[in-house]
Amino acid sequence: MNWVLVILGGMIGAPLRYLTDRAVRSRHDTDFPWGTFAVNAGGSFVLGTLTGAVTAGAADSHLQLLLGTGLCGALTTYSTFSYETLRLAQGGARFLAAANAVASVTAGLGAVYVGLAVARALWS
């Protein structure tokens, strides 16, 4: 039955990623992939908060499957991040490619850390 939770979360996360990416892109006229950056950072925050909640006993493993594996798994996208970074580099925008790589990894790690800190503050 766990696989149903993952599928349900993915059914929410995938369209949410698409819609978020489109909304962010419509507001930024630039080659930098702000949409992918936003979903990856946001998903990292959600995953950090959820992990902290599960660790503190405030959420159970079923919620982790639904939101962590399903929703965040479909919402965040390492493959699109990689492709967009490569596309920038091949298109001559090497600075933007490097900025995307560094900023995305830094923002993702930072968002997980902040999410864990929020969870600790709420449930410790």
| Residue list for the binding site | 73, 76
Cα angle, residue 16 at apex, residues 67 and 8 outer, rounded to 5°: 40
Rounded Cα distance, 104 and 86, in Å = 14
What is the distance between the alpha carbons of residues 124 and 120, in angstroms, rounded to a whole number? Answer: 5
Report the binding-site residues for Na(+): 73, 76
16 half-sphere exposure, CB direction, 13 A CA radius: 20
Q: Rounded to an integer, what distance in angstroms lies between the CA atom of residue 120 and that of residue 48? A: 10
Residues 47, 114 contacting (CB under 8 angstroms): no
Pull the structure tokens for residue 76: 């965040």
